[in-house]
Every structure is written in C-alpha cells, then in structure tokens.
Amino acid sequence: MEFTARKRREDALHLTEAHSDLLRSYRAYLTDPTPDTLQTYKQDKARYDTLATTQAQRSWQHQKSRFYRFGNKHGRLLANLVRSQTQTRPFISQIKTTDGTLLTDPVDIVGYFRQCFSDFYKTGPDDCPTQLNIFHKAQIPKLSPTERDALSAPISHIEVQKAITLLKNGKTPGPDGFGAEYYKLLSGLVVPHLVSLYNNILQGEEPPPTFNAARVVVLPKPGRDPTLVTSYRPIALLNTDLKLLSTIMAGRLQRPMARLVGPQQTGFLAGRHSTTNIRKAIAAIWSSSLTPQASNLLLSCDADNAFDRISWAYIERFIKFHHFGKVFLSLFRALYNNPSTVITANGLNSAPFVLGRGTRQGCPLSPLLFNLALEPLLRIIETCPAITGISLSSSVTLKVVAFADDLLLFL
C-alpha cells in the first residue's frame, strides 16, 4: 500500500512538472517562433502526452478492478452509485388514490401510476363526418405531387448517417438500451440494416415488436403535492432506431410545412420564431390603446395536455385528406400502431400497456403532427365572421396566434 501511494504521488509530480514545462515552451514559441523553440515545444508536448496517457490507462484499470471487486457488494462504491440515482429520481414514498387511499408499497405505487396513465391514454370518441367537414371548411392546401414524391422517396444511407450524427450523446436510451453512442460507434455496421428496415416500414411492412416500445419515467413537478399522480411529469424514453426514422421524415416534412401551416403558428417550424407572435400581441395592445372607446379582449387559452389528447384517427384522416401519400401513411401507422410502454417509478417497471392517443413525447415527428392537427382550428377561427379580431390597419386584422398548444385570441 505504501509503495503504491508513493508511486502515485511521484507520477502526479512528474505530470505536473511536464505540464509546467509544456506551458513554458509554448509561451516561448509564441514569443519567438523559431525552429529551436518549436522543437522544444514538440518534445515537451510528447513527454506530457505520454505521461498523461499512461496515467489515464492506470486510472481506467484501477476503476475496472474496483467495479469487478466491489460492484456487486454492499459498500461505499454501490452506495455512491445508488445515491446518485436517487438524487436525480427522488423516491416516491406514498401516493394517494382518487378515493383517498394512501399507497406506500412501491409495487402498488407503480401499479397505480400505470392504471392512471392507461386510463388517460385510452382511445377517445371518434367522429369521422365532423372531422371531414372541418377539413373542407379549413381549406388547407393539399400536398402537390412533387412534395408527395419527395416525402415518399426511399430512405438513403446518407440520410441515416446524417441522422445518427445529429444524435446527442449522454441521453438516456429507450427500453432496448442502445443509446446514441452505440449507433455512432457502429454506424458502419448498422446503417445498411437501418436503411433496409426503414424502407420496408415505408412500404407497409410491420416493424419489429420492440420498435414501438417506450419507457416512461415520472419526475416530480416542483411545488406540487408529492402524493398526487398529477404532481408528476411523465418523461418518455423511446428507442433510438425509432427516433432516427422520425428525424429523417421530420426533416422531409419541414419543407412543405411553410405552405400547409399558416402564419398563426410559429412553434417547431423552420424559419419561424415565437417572438413574431409576441410582437403581434404587443401591436394589438398598442392599437387598442389608441382607441379608448374600443372594447377589445385578449383571451389566452392553455389546452390541458393538448399533445396527449390528439386522436390518431383524426391525424390519419388529415394525412389521407391532404394527399400525403401511402408511404407517409405507412410511416404514421408504424409509429402509432399499438405502441406499448411501461411506467418506471422507484426503480420498478410496471406491466406494459398500449397507448391509444396522443403524439409521442420525444419523437421528432410529433411537434409537426401537432402543428397539422391544430391548423384546421386556426383556419376556421380566421374565417369565422363572428370573430372580428383587432385591426392593426385597414388590411391587417389579428384574430388568433398560437404558441405551440397555447392560443391567444383577439376579440
């Protein structure tokens, strides 16, 4: 032990000295850039790199040895690992049911979370004639043949590789456990298989059973009663292969979105910013203040869980009505055909259950689907003669703007 400690101190001292020499030679080279100072700098850098690499290798071997010896034993190492997890995901000690019963067993708690989420995400009522009538009234442009062909083109190796490079490291993976680092490290091996899988899905083939699986982690909302299910925010974790396909198709869909979605919406759309709608609201307030006798009203509407209440049948009819094509319809069905999820609370997973509605959290395509779902309502408000809006000029009248799922009505 004494020998090891002395050797560690000596190595640290040598590394510190090498670092000081490197800084000194670097400053000397910057002050007097001659071949001699450059050579000295290169020598000092090589010495420092060698010592730093050796120390990193020894540290890595030491950590591997610690995990091998103590990773599965009760002790400081395991306690620190558990403590770091419980700090990021606080333990839920009790949950109150709707009838006032207090649940304290972790199995009962995660089971009750499952029951609540399963009931909430059940398929709601469907009214096909009303929805088709809304589409006719809204008069949203349909996709042109050129736009539909671009949306329906086979997925290429380049698109998949680009989507992989856009993945962010360090993100918690979905149920299959394969994160961004896995796909980046093995992109040369997995890209051909992903291209084949994605193109088969676009042609209408069923994806693998695990493709639509998700895991939902519940995190407490600050300042809320910790015994209520509504005080917890669900965070959905999707598999990376699904997110890659969604990223590719979301990039394709962005191109016609500027034509399909009116200026009332600015969220999630390339080239649009929420500050535009903020300026519109300020302009409406200013315009109203110039006419004291005017009786105007700005009404803010926050839809409760709007993303989670979107009907899949409604989205599918929108896709068909506006000529998105069979390929995009196959994609939507693959993403939303009986997706299953489990709830994770206190380190326990619930039994899986099937979702019946809502755009999927964490899916890159979901915000654009929400834009499309909301657009008919905004178009009907704009053309409704009973809503007069607030006039900014003889040719500009504001009736409604949208900040994602928050609407601001000008009355």
How far apart are alpha carbons 6 and 3 in whole angstroms?
A: 5
What is the amino acid identity at position 246?
Answer: S
Do β-strands 340-345 and 214-220 pair in parallel, antiparallel, or remain unpaired? Answer: parallel
For residue 265, give the DSSP letter. Answer: B
How far apart are alpha carbons 126 and 103 in whole angstroms?
A: 35
**Which pLDDT belongs to residue 140?**
93
Cα angle for residues 377, 271, 285 (degrees, 5° grid): 60
How far apart are alpha carbons 356 and 85 in whole angstroms?
A: 31
Do β-strands 340-345 and 353-354 pair in parallel, antiparallel, or remain unpaired? Answer: antiparallel
Helices then strands (H, E): number in the chain? 14, 12
Residues of the chain with pLDDT under 50: 74, 82, 85-87
- Per 3-state DSSP, the chain is made up of helix, strand and coil in percentages (nearest 5) of 55, 10, 35
Contacts (Cβ under 8 Å, ≥6 apart) of 408: 277, 281, 298, 299, 300, 301, 400, 401, 402
In order of 265, 277, 336, the CA distances from 257 in angstroms are 11, 18, 21
**Which pLDDT belongs to residue 184?**
93
- E strand spans, 162-205: none
Residue pointed to by tokens 């979301």: 250
Burial (Cβ within 10 Å: 0-12, 13-18, ≥19) of residue 65: exposed
How far apart are alpha carbons 273 and 225 in whole angstroms?
A: 35
Judge whether 149 and 256 are in contact, CB under 8 Å. no
Q: How many CB atoms lie within 10 A of CB 83?
A: 9
Task: Count CA atoms within 13 Å of residue 147 on its CB side.
Answer: 16
Phi and psi, residue 75, nearest 5°? 180, -170
Do β-strands 232-238 and 298-302 pair in parallel, antiparallel, or remain unpaired? Answer: unpaired
Residues in a beta bridge with 217:
235, 344
This prediction has a pTM of 0.75
Do β-strands 214-220 and 232-238 pair in parallel, antiparallel, or remain unpaired? Answer: antiparallel
Rounded to whole angstroms, the maximal C-alpha distance in the chain is: 89
